[in-house]
A and B are shown apart, each in its own frame.
Chain A
Amino acid sequence: MTLQMTVSPDFPPAYIAGWYIFNTWLQRQSGLPIHLTLYDSFAAQRAVLAQGGIDLIYANPYDAAFLVRECGFVTLAAPCNRADEVVLAGTQTGPVNTIEDLAAGTVIARTDDPDVNLMGMMLLEPAALHAGNTTAITVDSYPLVAKQLLQGHAGIGFFLEEAFDSLSALVRGQLRELVRSRISVIRHVLLAGPGVRAQQVEHLTTLLLAMDQDDRGQAVLESMNLSGWEAHSQEDTEFMIDLMDTLDTQVLPG
């Protein structure tokens, strides 16, 4: 049986080729037939997940919660030293200098990246903002979030930290960073579905954890902009999901 692998659509487009190289590396190392399919949106990927069509996934933490708790996925590994963090930014010419300057009615520019949006809304709480007193504009990419800000259509933008730091100097120079999260424990994880046998899970995990120990493996990791894989126990993943569940609880004025 060919294992179907996919990657969360929020990875930087510059590393698409790297994931195909990784697919080839993993096939050769494991001896397992693995087919990589990339989806350009979370909705498209979730439709395939719902049909049980995915065996291996580099999952956004938000999707990981559903896959582990509801679909019986298990954790293979997590990327070393890479947590999902967010940046909330306004514009240099705008009136907002701190999060607390934002008021009810604020328009938020964002993508459909679920964990970024979850953390972003949490970081707006010091201004007593929530889904009920803000409006969201959802666009397809982080450069478009910046564009919404610079065109004056939104008062604040939610960015994945890596995407914010990858914006051109020209664009970043016009944006004002208001807050940058340091949560540390919310991260993407590589998961295996219930169709992957326990022996295969163990074998794949062993290969991944040793991947950075040879030149070829290191080159593949570099092509994905990763430094290596580290163990992430099922309990580590369960803990991350518990933590995200706490953030998903919007505390509205009583």
Chain B
Amino acid sequence: MDGYQTRIRYFDGHSRDALIREHEVPFPDGRLIVSRTDTCGIITHCNQAFVEMSGYPERELIGQPHSILRHPDMPRAAFQDLWETVQAGRIWHGHVKNLRKDGSCYWVLATVIPNVRHGRIAGYTSVRRKPARSRIHESIALYARLREAENP
């Protein structure tokens, strides 16, 4: 299989090795990728579109941290901003390049919302939809600059 191995470093300090391939899988028309996590970011629910796009069977997703999808081209600052925003009870949105199990990638427009139950955050729902190509190109340039700043 083409591609290369790399170590992905997360903003919270931990890391893992992953296969990276250049191939991009297009987001399917008309679908939404939906998942829910607990307050620690551990996946508790995911829909069929999530399974299909991530390349993982559902049993390998439930109980895993959502960062299993983290692509090394994403700057750590994006996820730090995500967590700070949703932990403050606000909605976060942004364009995200996700990593599939086979090392290929897919771009999404992600929105993450805190699930507020009885006045407190009980978890988070993440909904990903098809982004505009023009916004992906903008994000590629922005994230390259952010990564440079993180790894001077």
| A→B interface (CB under 8 Å) | 99-100, 122-123, 125-128, 179-185, 235, 238-239, 242-243, 245-247, 249, 251, 253-254
Closest Cβ of chain A to B30, distance in Å, is: 5
A245, B30: Cβ atoms closer than 8 Å? no
B30, A100: Cβ atoms closer than 8 Å? no
A246, B131: Cβ atoms closer than 8 Å? no
| Chain B residues closer than 8 Å to A245, beta-carbon distance | 91, 113
| Chain B residues closer than 8 Å to A246, beta-carbon distance | 91, 93, 111-113, 125, 127
| Chain A residues closer than 8 Å to B93, beta-carbon distance | 246, 249, 251
User: Are A125 and B47 CB-contacts (below 8 A) given A179-B29, A238-B117, A242-B115?
Assistant: no
User: Are A184 and B47 CB-contacts (below 8 A) given A127-B132, A243-B34?
Assistant: yes
| The 8 A-B residue pairs with the shortest CB-CB distance in the complex, in nearest-first order | A128-B132, A246-B111, A246-B127, A181-B30, A126-B130, A242-B125, A179-B30, A179-B29
Contact sample, A vs B, 25 pairs, CB 8 Å cutoff: A99-B29, A125-B129, A125-B130, A125-B131, A125-B132, A127-B132, A128-B132, A128-B134, A179-B29, A181-B30, A181-B31, A182-B30, A183-B32, A184-B47, A185-B47, A242-B113, A243-B34, A243-B125, A245-B91, A245-B113, A246-B112, A247-B111, A251-B109, A253-B135, A254-B138
User: Are A243 and B127 CB-contacts (below 8 A) given A125-B132, A128-B135, A181-B30?
Assistant: yes
Closest Cβ of chain A to B8, distance in Å, is: 26
Instruction: For the complex, give the distance between the alpha carbons of A100 and B131 in Å.
Output: 11
Cross-chain contact of B127 among A127, A179, A247 (Cβ < 8 A): A247
| Chain A residues closer than 8 Å to B14, beta-carbon distance | none
| Chain A residues closer than 8 Å to B112, beta-carbon distance | 246
Instruction: For the complex, give the distance between the alpha carbons of A185 and B50 in Å.
Output: 14
| Chain A residues closer than 8 Å to B113, beta-carbon distance | 242, 245-246
B117, A126: Cβ atoms closer than 8 Å? no
**Which residue of the partner chain A has the closest CB to B125?**
A242
| Chain B residues closer than 8 Å to A127, beta-carbon distance | 132
Instruction: For the complex, give the distance between the alpha carbons of A239 and B36 in Å.
Output: 9
| Chain A residues closer than 8 Å to B59, beta-carbon distance | none
Cross-chain contact of B91 among A122, A125, A239, A249 (Cβ < 8 A): A249
Closest Cβ of chain A to B33, distance in Å, is: 11
User: Are A185 and B91 CB-contacts (below 8 A) given A122-B129, A242-B125, A243-B125?
Assistant: no
**Which residue of the partner chain B has the closest CB to A251?**
B93
Closest Cβ of chain A to B70, distance in Å, is: 20
Instruction: For the complex, give the distance between the alpha carbons of A181 and B93 in Å.
Output: 21
Closest Cβ of chain B to A162, distance in Å, is: 16
B133 within 8 A of A: yes
B34, A185: Cβ atoms closer than 8 Å? yes
| Chain B residues closer than 8 Å to A182, beta-carbon distance | 30-31, 49
Closest Cβ of chain A to B50, distance in Å, is: 12
Instruction: For the complex, give the distance between the alpha carbons of A123 and B129 in Å.
Output: 8
Instruction: For the complex, give the distance between the alpha carbons of A138 and B138 in Å.
Output: 33
**A interface footprint on B16-34 (CB within 8 Å = 1, 0 otherwise):** 0000000000000111101
**A interface footprint on B45-68 (CB within 8 Å = 1, 0 otherwise):** 001010000000000000000000
**A interface footprint on B114-149 (CB within 8 Å = 1, 0 otherwise):** 010100000001010111111100100000000000
Instruction: For the complex, give the distance between the alpha carbons of A126 and B115 in Å.
Output: 27
Instruction: For the complex, give the distance between the alpha carbons of A246 and B135 in Å.
Output: 18
Closest Cβ of chain B to A182, distance in Å, is: 5
Residue from B47, B113, B115 with most neighbouring chain A CB atoms (10 Å): B113
**Which residue of the partner chain B has the closest CB to A124?**
B132
| Chain B residues closer than 8 Å to A128, beta-carbon distance | 132, 134-135
Instruction: For the complex, give the distance between the alpha carbons of A253 and B109 in Å.
Output: 12
Closest Cβ of chain A to B90, distance in Å, is: 10
